Amino acid sequence: MTGAERVDVAIIGGGQAGACLASRLARRGIEVVVLERSLNWRWHAAGVFSSPAAMDALRRVGVSEEVLARVARPIPALRLETPGGATVGLTYGHDRGGPPAIGFDRSALDPALLELARAAGADVRLGTTVTSVQLGGGRAPAMLTLRTGTGTTTVHARVVIGADGPHSIVAREAGVARPARLATRVGLTHHLADPRADDEPVDGRMQILPDGYVGIAPVPSGRVNIGIVLGRSWRPRLAREGAARVAASIEGTIPATPHDVAPWRGAATCDPIAGASPLGGRVTRRAGLGWFLVGDAAGFLDPFTGEGIHRALVSTELAAAAIRAALTGRSTAAAAADAAGAYDRAMRRRFATKDAVTWLVQAFLARPVLFEYVARRLATRGDARATMGLVMGDLIPASRALDPRLLAAVLAP
């Protein structure tokens, strides 16, 4: 091991999850390096829409109000629109006095989070790709091979973190990565110019398509983010016409509504379409001896319910506590095992019921007639709609959505 660099914690991935975890650990005096393959921020397939819970999570990690005001645009409601004409407005508690949902400017938020990590003392290395990871199994440090603009180097880390998105190299190496259970879908996303002023209240939209959906979220700097998710039946058309033409054609069919006159339709595109497929992924465990997974690397189901950002932020809170315990324990192997188990259980406790609700939503989404029925019921039942919005936004326990009274209000004829 002579000559190789040694660190306490190596975080692979400088996205939201990696940056926030780095801030939390570095602030506690733990030596952290963040290894991020991109040299500069660029738009990649990712989400921008989130419930107010994400704003609170960002405050808890130390993001200032001044930065939040710059990176976040309030969204009064998300309007779910079905092919049959039902519209369900989800306000995430904003209509009852709570804060609004948010559209994030990722080109401002993500670099701000990395800056916060640097300021906390983390060593952030951009343009550094981790090409292989050998886990130490609790007996030895993990060994990471890094490729930079100037060559290849090796780092040994007591704890290695996979914050590298749904196709995590750490999850693969630990043998816990599994394909997503949902059928393979394609996500296409970019931004379009929108002439409306940033302080003009503009609702988000989620329009259901045959075998897919499209989300439209206003974000800062006069833009809307378009996120299109397409199922298997779209594949021949995507192969024939290409992603950009299919996206433009879908965008052209989205009607103007009283809440969105759609001035972005046909407007200039602000960045090339970024695609992702398969969307999401699954892991059988989120931590083991000397390794942890956070953010999408710890499992991501589907963008429909828009919970990825908030979940990623919460995972860093839970992981930070466990990693600190692992590093300060007296017996390395025992402390590492306890910390890994504690984190895995904490994530399960926090998200298992929400996952069940998300699966229920997906089951309805896969059956258009049923989905239409439920949407019409929710459109006319204010209390049930409000509860569903709060559950989707991680603002109340997800078990409230499985309450028989709520299910009866939504499902009973």
Ligand X SMILES: Cc1cc2nc3c(=O)[nH]c(=O)nc-3n(C[C@H](O)[C@H](O)[C@H](O)COP(=O)(O)OP(=O)(O)OC[C@H]3O[C@@H](n4cnc5c(N)ncnc54)[C@H](O)[C@@H]3O)c2cc1C
Span of 14-22, 90-98, 149-157, 348-356 interacting with ligand X by CB under 6 A: 14-22
Nearer residue to ligand X within complex by CB, 279 or 326: 279
Please report, in angstroms and rounded to a whole number, the separation of the first and last CA atoms in the chain. 68
* Binder of ligand X out of 279, 301, 347, 384 (CB under 6 A): 279
User: Is 288 a residue that touches ligand X (CB under 6 A)?
Assistant: no
Nearer residue to ligand X within complex by CB, 222 or 227: 227
Q: Which residue is nearest to ligand X (CB)?
A: 47
Nearer residue to ligand X within complex by CB, 32 or 45: 45
User: Is 9 a residue that touches ligand X (CB under 6 A)?
Assistant: no
Distance CA 329, CA 281 (A): 32
* Binder of ligand X out of 122, 130, 287, 326 (CB under 6 A): 130
Here's the x/- map for ligand X, 156-185, by CB under 6 A: it reads as -------xxx---x----------------
**Exposed (0-12), middle (13-18) or buried (19+): which is 368, by Cβ within 10 Å?**
middle
* Binder of ligand X out of 312, 314, 320, 337 (CB under 6 A): 312
User: Is 395 a residue that touches ligand X (CB under 6 A)?
Assistant: no
User: Is 207 a residue that touches ligand X (CB under 6 A)?
Assistant: no
Nearer residue to ligand X within complex by CB, 133 or 374: 133
User: Is 100 a residue that touches ligand X (CB under 6 A)?
Assistant: no
User: Is 203 a residue that touches ligand X (CB under 6 A)?
Assistant: no
Span of 29-37, 85-93, 114-122, 281-289 interacting with ligand X by CB under 6 A: 29-37
Distance CA 330, CA 51 (A): 40
Distance CA 184, CA 332 (A): 40
Beta bridge partners of 190: 226
* Binder of ligand X out of 33, 49, 336, 373 (CB under 6 A): 49
Span of 70-78, 193-201, 308-316, 341-349 interacting with ligand X by CB under 6 A: 308-316
- Count of residues near ligand X by CB under 6 A: 38
Least distance from C-beta 168 to ligand X, angstroms? 7
Span of 191-199, 257-265, 294-302, 379-387 interacting with ligand X by CB under 6 A: 294-302
Which one, of 393, 400, 377, 391, lies nearest residue 87 by Cα?
377
* Binder of ligand X out of 100, 231, 303, 389 (CB under 6 A): 303
* Binder of ligand X out of 92, 292, 300, 371 (CB under 6 A): 300
User: Is 50 a residue that touches ligand X (CB under 6 A)?
Assistant: yes
Nearer residue to ligand X within complex by CB, 309 or 365: 309
User: Is 23 a residue that touches ligand X (CB under 6 A)?
Assistant: no
| Structure token digits, residue 78 | 């998300």
Nearer residue to ligand X within complex by CB, 312 or 388: 312
**Binding-site ranges for ligand X (CB under 6 A):** 12-18, 35-38, 45-47, 49-50, 129-130, 163-165, 169, 187, 189, 215, 227, 276, 279, 295-297, 300, 303, 306-309, 312
